[in-house]
Chain A
């Protein structure tokens, strides 16, 4: 069964600190992996997308990594801001174009 598992389920960090969110998947065959940010009461917003041949991609203070061999990805947030408080969702696209969504990691950045 194609699955996407994210950890931790929730995380609290102090403003200015860095953090790393994890995503493990069993989706096969793999097409691409996406990270989305979802603010409370809003729809998800795309942060990054990586294909099989890419192992890192950045979007401002967000850096995603991908290890297609171990089927693991991480999202690293640098110098966190209060506005980073949100749910971060890992999404893996199957080669048949189906999207498999993780349950998300809820991040709270405190002053």
Chain B
């Protein structure tokens, strides 16, 4: 049981480049979400999904796109990377949005230069 798998673990992008952060879970969780963690700040919600085909914006969605074509996968796309998007990104999943505990991936550390 792998839990929540995020790839890549580290990435360096140039300003203006695009890329996709991958997130996969094997627990048949309906709810999946993306957060960013910046120094001196709590985690902030970027986008979330309550099931395949359903996505919605979180607190800081600008510059990011998501889709949910399957229950297992929830990729996060950076359309045109900016230095302000330098951060650590975490994917989390749970049975439902109000479920007891979210299972987090180990994170992707992204640097935009």
Given the interface pairs A93-B98, A97-B97, A99-B45, the reply to whether A44 lies near B104 with Cβ below 8 Å is yes
Main DSSP-derived SS at the B contact region: loop
**Smallest CB separation, B96 vs chain A (Å):** 9
Given the interface pairs A42-B106, A43-B107, the reply to whether A101 lies near B44 with Cβ below 8 Å is yes
Report yes or no: A97 in contact with B98, Cβ–Cβ below 8 A.
yes
Interface size bracket, A side:
20 to 34
Report yes or no: A89 in contact with B42, Cβ–Cβ below 8 A.
yes
Give B58-89 interface residues, CB cut-off 8 Å to A: 59
Chain B residues within an 8 Å CB radius of A45: 104
Report yes or no: B101 in contact with A34, Cβ–Cβ below 8 A.
yes
- Give me 26 A-to-B residue pairs in the complex whose CB atoms sit less than 8 angstroms apart, sorted by A's number: A31-B98, A32-B98, A41-B106, A41-B107, A42-B107, A43-B92, A43-B106, A43-B107, A44-B43, A44-B104, A45-B104, A46-B100, A46-B101, A46-B102, A49-B100, A89-B42, A89-B43, A93-B98, A97-B97, A97-B98, A99-B43, A100-B42, A101-B42, A101-B44, A103-B40, A104-B42
Measured CB to CB, the residues of A under 8 A from B are 4, 31-32, 34, 41-46, 49, 89, 93, 97-104
